[in-house]
Structure 1
Amino acid sequence: MSETTGLKAKLKVGMEIHVELATRSKMWTAAPNVAHPDFFDAEPNTLLSPVVIGMPGTLPVMNKEAVQMSIKVGLALGCEIAKKCKWDRKSYYYPDLPKNYQISQYDQPICGEGEIDIPLTDDPNGPAKTIRITRAHLEEDAGKLAHEGPGGIQMDHSIVDLNRAGTPLLEIVTEPDFSSADEAVTFGQMLRDICRHLGVSEGIMQKGHMRFEPNINVEIEKDGKTFKTPIVEIKNLNSFRAVHGAITHEYDRQIEEWLENGIVMGARAKTTRGWDDVKGVTVLQRTKEDADEYRYFPDPDLVDLIVDEQWLVELGKEVTELPFIKLQRYMGEYKLGEKDARALVDEPATTRYYEKALELGMEPKRAATLLLNYGLKRANEAGVRIDEIGITPEQVVGIEALLKADKIGSSAADELFGYCCESDDTPEKLANTHGLIQVSDTSALEGFVDEVLANDRNAKIVADIEGGKDAAIGALIGQIMKLSKGQANPKMIREIIIAKVRS
């Protein structure tokens, strides 16, 4: 709650989040789904079928995979899963909705009430806040309109692209439990991470996989009375920056509007506004329709959806440890720093890769070091995921085994990592092939040490070492590494130098 111009104001935000599910086919037809990575770049109006364009006589057939994905998200959010639910027609006319109705769920959503905790600080082990989930219902997406041509060319008409029409869409609705833009963004980021780790969506905002619609109003206290501004819904935000900016701006705008006209909730219908990302302001769009204006009624072409207990148990087994909980465990149980832990959790493929290495016996901190220092560097340079650079978790374990046995050094490990990305051979075989195995033979190493110590140019360094200056040893080690072409064991060299100089 903040104070402004002699009054107290409290922001209240509820979120509606639309998640496009990454099934191969659409919600009610076998037509390809634009939210699946294989079809995102399809030419406009090529992912169609008679069902999508609403041809007479067509009948919808439910996509079971979309239902399963929705249930898994609901379980992750602690929702009550309906044992029985129906499908409804939400009627409205719009150019990108050929049927003039959307198949959705009205009074019997597949996922009912739930709740999830969000952190209130950057510390994942710090204080948290419970956000109540009102519902999550499954429906189909509409198409979209393009009002500009390629390159932003202005047109005197709009172009309808129906590729998105029929895409499975899960709409998650929360209670108005957010009291700041930061909290709303945190929830959105957590939900995206959950969806990505469950494999139900790629969660790429620029591709429209997730769209956010905050419902915002302000409670104002003045002269001992409480006033509530009318609710405003901000439509179709597709970045966390936009979510934060829209909520922050709308909070200030509603207070200013109330000070001007005193209009409160109930005196004016709910309105929708758009977000101008360039100007950083919300823009009035229209008055929000009430549910009865959509003329909901049960879809006569679809049977009820029944979720039996066995199916629910099987899906529950697929809801693995949530990313936020995993982050806490990595920092707590594995003692990883927050930066490293987040780097491992942010990308689901990296998380799976890391945990496979742990299953093979790697120590958590060492596995994190190798993957982040050697693996993610190469993945980022190539613009791919860590599981796509060529090296297997088994090879990573093999590199660590060579390091622990002092058969290779850290620089050689990095080089060996690169060779493993290009070959299926074992790390030890590749290390031998490329001359990376350290020389640990005592007699050979003593020969290198004797040669360096006998060099008159090193007399001052030797004297410093005799005087107890251990830092000077590094200069001799560097010379020996050059003589041995990088294959000498630095640890053993150090021990031999000390023994020979100080004996």
Structure 2
Amino acid sequence: MSTAATALSPEILAKYQPVIGLEVHVQLLTKTKAFCGCVNQYGGEPNTHTCPTCLGLPGALPVLNRQAVEYAVLAAKAINCEIRETSVFSRKNYFYPDSPKAYQISQFDKPVAEHGWIDVPSFDESGAPITKRIGITRLHMEEDAGKSLHDGFADSLNRSYIDLNRCGTPLVEIVSEPDLRTPDEVFEYLTRLKEILLYTGVSDCNMEEGSLRCDANVSVMLKGAKQFGTKAEVKNVNSFRYIRAAVQYEIERQIGVIEDGGRVVQESRLWNSSEGRTYSMRSKEQAHDYRYFPEPDLPPLVVGAEWQKEIFARMPELPEARRARMIAAYDISEQDAATLTATQSFADSFETAAKKAKSPKRVAALLTTELTMRLRLKELELAQSPVSLDGVVMAADLLEAGTISSKQLKQLLDTAFENNEDFPAVYEREKPQQISDAGAIEKMIDEVIAANPKQVEQYKGGKKTVSAFFVGQVMKLSKGQANPALLNELVARKLDAQ
């Protein structure tokens, strides 16, 4: 039987239409758990962040965390969902060792929010860029289970252990419509969803700590078919890059199964990142298998108009709106705006610096290229940069005024990062001066022209690109201090006069 490891021809792949839906679990950044007063904090000694309620002991009753409700409603509004004024908690019944109650408090037929959407960049059939709207079926609240531990113990070959610290952690599950068609759309959807959630402050979205987890439902059908194929759920993927790879693998695996005359079965599959493939985990449960029924210990959740208004008043400016405003306000490119708004702190840093600088556009360019590149090489965050925001402003202003060249700026920034110094200190010590005196530059141009008659003849013969040679030679002669714009102008004028 074919698998994704067996290459499928482009002609075979082109016959099929993938259909993808995502289920994203987001841990809410509350101080305490969803239904008890235990600390909601990652880590700690196993089974120390627990109490009778999250351990499911007899007689312990849940009390809903108000902050968790407000975070859920805020997140729902940010992804354009309709808020249900009255929602209901249910018991989702299943038994796993890490679920001490043998059920999970969740929401089923009446979730807190429904019918949302997120816009993502994509491409139409001709390859032209478009904006595509991905529907969101629902956002509902629930609690997390504990964690099974299988490794790191002397007797781990014979036993597994359970850490219940995570039991009762407040979550929202965000379920998309099956509107995604490519692995790249999956990546873009998750990137934008994470951006939005981080801006609202409802979660830290730390995938390594399990604060954001994603399952992908993947199926394929022949192009033009009306009915979706049988889906498989891919679980336990811990990065957006791996999710994109897992979805691609699963699409090709299912097409291979069908092309070989087989039948795709509904199941849950695990992604193995080291092997780059998925493996069957278990048959996929249907909703009726969980025997949902209303949670008898919790009344219906009522989020009335006044409470909603109070929650919505805390909504920050979201990434898409901020990008549009910054493009208009600072005359920056869409690409720079996208980079600068990737996180709220980066956007805040840019705006703080831009308001002080003569050219916000130069500040944007410095932050997104020169500074970001050096931070990545040093594996530093923006907050750890030796070059402060005031240093960025000073560098941008010097460049804008023509006091230093871009080459000199690069050298000064290199020195700042090598010595862990701020830009102003490096500049005051090095004090490179850009030569903007036309007479001084013309003298150097004359010297270079006289020394290179062959290149002069090439220019006169119509090879105008040779002017770059003269610019380079003068720049070398001036030790990088000649004003680039003035130098280019004077070289062209001198050569034309030959």
TM bracket (short chain): 0.7 to 0.9
Secondary structure of the structure 1 residue equivalent to 2:114: coil
Alignment correspondent of 2:428: 433
Which among 354, 359, 365 is matched to residue 369 of structure 1? 365
Alignment correspondent of 1:119: 121
Tell me, in whole angstroms, the C-alpha distance in 2 between the residues paired with 1:352 and 1:375.
16
Alignment correspondent of 1:148: 151
1:309-458 to structure 2, matched below 5 A, reads: 309=306, 311-312=308-309, 314-315=311-312, 318-323=315-320, 326=323, 334=331, 336=333, 338=335, 340=336, 342-360=338-356, 363-414=359-410, 417=413, 430=425, 433-436=428-431, 438=433
In the alignment, residue 17 of structure 1 is paired with which amino acid? V
In the alignment, residue 235 of structure 2 is paired with which amino acid? K
Alignment correspondent of 2:254: 251
Tell me, in whole angstroms, the C-alpha distance in 2 between the residues paired with 1:354 and 1:64.
35
Alignment correspondent of 2:463: none
CA contact (8 A) 2:105 2:295 kept: no
Tell me, in whole angstroms, the C-alpha distance in 2 between the residues paired with 1:489 and 1:210.
50
In the alignment, residue 428 of structure 2 is paired with which amino acid? T
Q: Displacement, 1:163? A: 3.0
Q: Displacement, 1:55? A: 4.1
Q: Displacement, 1:248? A: 0.7
CA contact (8 A) 2:81 2:116 kept: yes
In the alignment, residue 433 of structure 2 is paired with which amino acid? Q
Cα separation, partners in 2 of 1:353 and 1:281, compared to 1, 3 Å: same
1:308 and 2:292 correspond: no
Alignment correspondent of 1:132: 135
CA contact (8 A) 1:89 1:298 kept: yes
Q: Displacement, 1:246? A: 5.2
Tell me, in whole angstroms, the C-alpha distance in 2 between the residues paired with 1:363 and 1:94.
59
Q: Displacement, 1:80? A: 0.0
1:460 and 2:458 correspond: no
**Unaligned ranges ≥5, structure 1:** none
Cα separation, partners in 2 of 1:207 and 1:327, compared to 1, 3 Å: farther
Tell me, in whole angstroms, the C-alpha distance in 1 between the residues paired with 2:139 and 2:432.
57
Tell me, in whole angstroms, the C-alpha distance in 2 between the residues paired with 1:176 and 1:63.
31
Tell me, in whole angstroms, the C-alpha distance in 2 between the residues paired with 1:473 and 1:8.
55
Q: Displacement, 1:177? A: 2.7
Q: Displacement, 1:79? A: 0.6
Q: Displacement, 1:16? A: 1.7
CA contact (8 A) 1:197 1:323 kept: no
Tell me, in whole angstroms, the C-alpha distance in 2 between the residues paired with 1:86 and 1:357.
47
CA contact (8 A) 1:16 1:173 kept: yes
Cα separation, partners in 2 of 1:133 and 1:303, compared to 1, 3 Å: closer
Alignment correspondent of 1:97: 99
Cα separation, partners in 2 of 1:437 and 1:63, compared to 1, 3 Å: farther
Q: Displacement, 1:441? A: 9.5
TM-score normalised to the size of structure 1? 0.74
Q: Displacement, 1:52? A: 2.9
Secondary structure of the structure 2 residue equivalent to 1:137: strand
Q: Displacement, 1:176? A: 2.6
In the alignment, residue 385 of structure 1 is paired with which amino acid? E
In the alignment, residue 312 of structure 2 is paired with which amino acid? L
In the alignment, residue 134 of structure 1 is paired with which amino acid? T
Tell me, in whole angstroms, the C-alpha distance in 2 between the residues paired with 1:437 and 1:3.
57
Alignment correspondent of 1:475: 473
Cα-Cα RMSD: 4.9
**Unaligned ranges ≥5, structure 2:** 1-8, 461-465
CA contact (8 A) 1:3 1:9 kept: no
Tell me, in whole angstroms, the C-alpha distance in 2 between the residues paired with 1:110 and 1:18.
15
Q: Displacement, 1:187? A: 2.5
1:20-419 to structure 2, matched below 5 A, reads: 20-34=27-41, 39=42, 42-121=44-123, 126-149=129-152, 155-219=157-221, 229-238=229-238, 239-245=242-248, 247-249=250-252, 251-252=254-255, 255=258, 259-260=261-262, 271-277=267-273, 278=275, 280-291=277-288, 293-301=290-298, 304-309=301-306, 311-312=308-309, 314-315=311-312, 318-323=315-320, 326=323, 334=331, 336=333, 338=335, 340=336, 342-360=338-356, 363-414=359-410, 417=413
Alignment correspondent of 2:3: none
Superimposed CA distance per residue, residues 300-340 of structure 1 (whole angstroms, 9 cap, x where no aligned partner): 156634243464365365242335983898599946374x5
Secondary structure of the structure 1 residue equivalent to 2:82: coil
Tell me, in whole angstroms, the C-alpha distance in 2 between the residues paired with 1:387 and 1:460.
50
Task: Select between 340-349 and 328-337 the one with higher mean Cα deviation.
Answer: 328-337
CA contact (8 A) 1:218 1:254 kept: no
Secondary structure of the structure 1 residue equivalent to 2:409: helix
Cα separation, partners in 2 of 1:249 and 1:29, compared to 1, 3 Å: farther
CA contact (8 A) 2:199 2:318 kept: no
Tell me, in whole angstroms, the C-alpha distance in 1 between the residues paired with 2:442 and 2:15.
77
Superimposed CA distance per residue, residues 187-225 of structure 1 (whole angstroms, 9 cap, x where no aligned partner): 233323322333333434343333222334455699xx9
Superimposed CA distance per residue, residues 336-363 of structure 1 (whole angstroms, 9 cap, x where no aligned partner): 374x555434444333323333344554
Superimposed CA distance per residue, residues 354-384 of structure 1 (whole angstroms, 9 cap, x where no aligned partner): 3333344554542222112332123213323
Secondary structure of the structure 2 residue equivalent to 1:112: strand
Superimposed CA distance per residue, residues 245-267 of structure 1 (whole angstroms, 9 cap, x where no aligned partner): 4541453266369x457x9xxxx
Cα separation, partners in 2 of 1:214 and 1:23, compared to 1, 3 Å: same
CA contact (8 A) 2:16 2:222 kept: yes
Secondary structure of the structure 2 residue equivalent to 1:207: coil
TM-score normalised to the size of structure 2? 0.75
Secondary structure of the structure 2 residue equivalent to 1:26: coil
Give the number of aligned pairs: 475
Tell me, in whole angstroms, the C-alpha distance in 1 between the residues paired with 2:131 and 2:436.
57
In the alignment, residue 460 of structure 1 is paired with which amino acid? A
Cα separation, partners in 2 of 1:67 and 1:498, compared to 1, 3 Å: same
Cα separation, partners in 2 of 1:245 and 1:45, compared to 1, 3 Å: farther
Tell me, in whole angstroms, the C-alpha distance in 1 between the residues paired with 2:66 and 2:415.
43
The percentage of counterpart residues that share the same residue type is 28
Tell me, in whole angstroms, the C-alpha distance in 1 between the residues paired with 2:192 and 2:445.
60
Tell me, in whole angstroms, the C-alpha distance in 2 between the residues paired with 1:306 and 1:398.
50
